[in-house]
A and B are shown apart, each in its own frame.
Chain A
Amino acid sequence: MAKVGMQDSLRWLDDPYADWPERFPGRKAIGYFCSYVPLEILHAAGLTPVRILQLGSTAAAAHAHFPAFSCAMARTALERLVSSQLGFLNAVVFAHTCDTMQCLADAWRMVDSSQRVLHFSLPTTLDAAGSVEYVLNAHHQLLGELELLSGVRVSEEALLASIALYEERRRLLAELYRARESLGAGELWRITVAGLLMPVEEHLTLLGRAISSLSDAPARFGTGPRLAVAGTALHDGSLLELIEELGGQVVADNLCTGERAFQGQVDLQHHSDALAALTARALERPICPAKHKVGQEAAARILELVRSSRADGVVFVQPKYCDPCAFDYVPQRKALEEAGIPHVVVETETGACGAQARTRLQALLEMLS
């Protein structure tokens, strides 16, 4: 397998928040949770977006603030807030997604009123009548609040410059994902997630390095069963590494810590300005399970993922207590069964996978071998 050697330099991902200010000195950080948050606007306002993930936390017991029947991502985030690990963030942006994130946004400001909370009020129905105007307004609203927060007046030029950086990142990531079969899924996950936590400029350098070392390395085309990974956020790359260790190849995913995070382009040619173009990307991207859109129903989404990647099987990564994923699973499983595509479910709570995941993946891969 072509190794680009990022594992050592990205070891900080094991606990990315502890020394973030020292790692990226001089940067003003702003937290966010959801891949729908328009990072370009945050960047144009002079802020460095830092995604709040479950990385390095196994706070399965942390339910002093949220009950045990809420997802670990929300519980661990609150735990980090309470223990002052996120004090370096100038604010946190919540995009409206699921019931849990909706409550988390409110609880956040009740637990620690010193940290600013900004709401990016994204609709649930992305093709509702009036959704374009509403989402455009949400972008304007967020921009206004960021200007107040940072004290920076954001010009159209600044927005366009930021969009150019993020478009470049999407282009490089797409290039890297095209080579995913020779790169290794765990490595790719690390490189992608690092980008959600570090300044985009530095991530571009990292991506450039990864791509050039890839072209120097001997290509290796996998021969094992081709698997697609379906879910939302994957907080640990070990599951992907396990698939490869057991002889499978990860050929596609629809994770918001993976391919879905950078799908969709900002089309400046066909829109009047930067915010209108960002709005169009938000509405036209492949959707998160918490969103509703005609033509992107659960079954259609999984069949498209399999079709476009020519996957032999599917691994569902289900975060415990994630309602949108749990609802989608039933029609998706049915659609796969009708199409004769084998699949397994791996339920995650801490992100890392245990013995049960290994057994299930082994069974799937044996079936496909």
Chain B
Amino acid sequence: MRSAKELQRLMQWHYASIRLPRLGRPLAWVTSGAPVELLRAAGVVAVYPENYGALCGAQHQAVALCQKAESEGYSPDLCSYARTSLGSVIAPESAPLGGLPRPDLLIACNNICSTVVKWYETLSDRFQVPLFVLDLPFIHDRLTPAMTAYAVTQLRDLVTFLERECRRKVSGAKLGEAVRQANETVRLWTEIHELCQAHPSPLNVPDLFVNMAPIVVLRGTASATRFYRHLRDEVAERVREGVGAIAEERYRLLWDNIAIWHHLYRLFNYFAEQGACFVVDTYTTAWSAEIPRGDLLESLAEAYAGVYLNRSLEFRARRMIDMIQAYDVSGFVMHGNRSCKPYSLGQVETRRLVTEMTGAPGLLIEADMCDSRAFAPEPIRTRIQAFIETLESSGREMRGEAQGERR
């Protein structure tokens, strides 16, 4: 894709810029679900250990770093982003890019998992720097006024924390601008996803996994918005010209969970060889919540408490059912990710419900997002093969005329 070069330049610029002199601006390590708009308004330089973990996983560097963490006593059963990150802190000389620059602050929001709280406690202890935990209650049923009030009170406290640590006021104008940029980015990212409803789909899920980096690490900046505008234009052009992501789209599938970074292309190419394209997924679409209008802190509270991983298994099953219908999906693959309990525990139940409601069969494969030691290629290939045969025998292949109609 044309935008691949732009993406590469953008991410290289990001990882280079965080090492530049910051003229008094503190650098924070931030979890992927934290309200970064407040940090941008405070002038904080935000870096994302989870994105760094994905990068190490994709470059096949994560296992060596995980082993460094394990040699200090961290269990190999813990999240591999956390182990990779801790390994890069223990042995920066063996880490890609020499690890991340030392943080001045740590901001962890538990709307994606509880692991980040423990992981960032560990970082705070190691670096002896302040940690702010933003505690957003999990939504089993609905977001209650008490939950919103609790979140808003903490967001106010976060503002106070940032103003103290940055020795400057959090500017309302800058916050408004960061929110406007974030919303614009989210709208473009959503538009890009929706373009994949076309037959054939202009993108396959590895394209989405690779292109999601800026929405995580540069959300709320003009450079992210610019990148997604170009990407949207390119994807729209592919749809107009009927260019599909894979050679022959026979099956349209949904992917659930974080990518298996160390086998990203090998795994999805294997599907693609058999005509299976992943047209939608539950992970890259998780960054699709716009911050609603109204009181800014209340809006941030609602948007960040309502993220996909902070919602119930039933909510997620309903979301998958909606996606299956909207994207004309005939089957789904779930990654039982040893590293991510909140994403993976309960997949047996969501699979059952989704299949009951849609008739689409689901395949559950156990692996790990970064730790390739937990990946068994041959048994997984066999199971994928059997799954494709199921799709074929149940007549869930795309019909030619349907492809033509929907293009």
In the assembled complex, how far is the CB of residue A278 from the closest CB belonging to chain B, in whole angstroms? Answer: 16
Contacting A111 at CB < 8 Å: which of B75, B133, B349?
A: B349
Do A129 and B153 contact each other (CB < 8 Å), given the known contacts A99-B341, A124-B110?
A: yes
Contact residues in A for B303 (Cβ distance below 8 Å) = none
Distance A299 CA – B344 CA, assembled complex (angstroms): 30
Contact residues in A for B146 (Cβ distance below 8 Å) = 133-134, 137-138, 141
Contact present for A292 and B117 (CB under 8 Å): yes
Residue of A nearest to B73 (CB): A330
Contact present for A69 and B77 (CB under 8 Å): yes
Stretch in B119-127, B178-186, B247-255, B322-330 touching the partner: B119-127
Contacting A103 at CB < 8 Å: which of B78, B110, B117, B313?
A: B313
Stretch in B57-65, B134-142, B197-205, B262-270 touching the partner: B134-142
Distance A99 CA – B156 CA, assembled complex (angstroms): 26
Residues 99-120 of B contacting A (Cβ, < 8 Å):
110, 113-115, 117-119
A299-319, CB under 8 A of B: which get 1 and which 0?
100000000000000000010
Do A99 and B150 contact each other (CB < 8 Å), given the known contacts A106-B314, A121-B137, A128-B157?
A: no
Do A125 and B135 contact each other (CB < 8 Å), given the known contacts A67-B345, A100-B345?
A: yes
Residues 93-152 of A contacting B (Cβ, < 8 Å):
96, 98-100, 102-107, 109-111, 119, 121, 123-125, 128-131, 133-134, 137-138, 141
Q: Judge whether B312 is part of the interface by a CB distance below 8 angstroms.
A: yes
In the assembled complex, how far is the CB of residue A217 from the closest CB belonging to chain B, in whole angstroms? Answer: 42
Contacting B150 at CB < 8 Å: which of A66, A102, A130, A292?
A: A130
Residues 140-193 of A contacting B (Cβ, < 8 Å):
141
Residue of B nearest to A327 (CB): B118
Contact residues in B for A330 (Cβ distance below 8 Å) = 72-74, 122
Distance A298 CA – B336 CA, assembled complex (angstroms): 30
Contact residues in A for B314 (Cβ distance below 8 Å) = 106, 109-110
Contact present for A64 and B135 (CB under 8 Å): no
Contacting B135 at CB < 8 Å: which of A67, A128, A318, A327?
A: A128
User: How many residues of B are counted as interface, with CB atoms below 8 angstroms from the partner's CB atoms?
Assistant: 50
Q: Judge whether A267 is part of the interface by a CB distance below 8 angstroms.
A: no
Binding site secondary structure of chain B: helix
Contact residues in A for B149 (Cβ distance below 8 Å) = 130, 133-134
Binding site secondary structure of chain A: helix
Residue of A nearest to B112 (CB): A99
Contact residues in B for A141 (Cβ distance below 8 Å) = 144, 146
A70-102, CB under 8 A of B: which get 1 and which 0?
100010000000000000000000001011101
In the assembled complex, how far is the CB of residue A116 from the closest CB belonging to chain B, in whole angstroms? Answer: 13
Question: A interface, how many residues as a size bin?
Answer: 35 or more
In the assembled complex, how far is the CB of residue A192 from the closest CB belonging to chain B, in whole angstroms? Answer: 27
Residues 50-71 of A contacting B (Cβ, < 8 Å):
64-67, 69-70
Distance A328 CA – B122 CA, assembled complex (angstroms): 8
Do A106 and B346 contact each other (CB < 8 Å), given the known contacts A129-B156, A297-B125, A326-B78?
A: yes
B67-110, CB under 8 A of A: which get 1 and which 0?
00000111101110000000000000000000000000000001
Q: Which residues of A contact B (CB under 8 A)?
A: 64-67, 69-70, 74, 96, 98-100, 102-107, 109-111, 119, 121, 123-125, 128-131, 133-134, 137-138, 141, 290, 292, 297-299, 318, 320-321, 323-324, 326-331, 333
Q: Which residues of B contact A (CB under 8 A)?
A: 72-75, 77-79, 110, 113-115, 117-119, 121-122, 125, 133, 135, 137-138, 140-141, 144, 146-147, 149-150, 152-154, 156-157, 312-314, 336, 338, 341-342, 344-350, 352-353, 366
9 A-B pairs with CB atoms under 8 Å apart are A64-B348, A69-B77, A69-B344, A69-B366, A74-B345, A96-B138, A100-B345, A125-B154, A327-B119
Q: Which 4 residue pairs are nearest across A and B when measured between Cβ atoms?
A: A130-B153, A327-B118, A103-B345, A129-B157
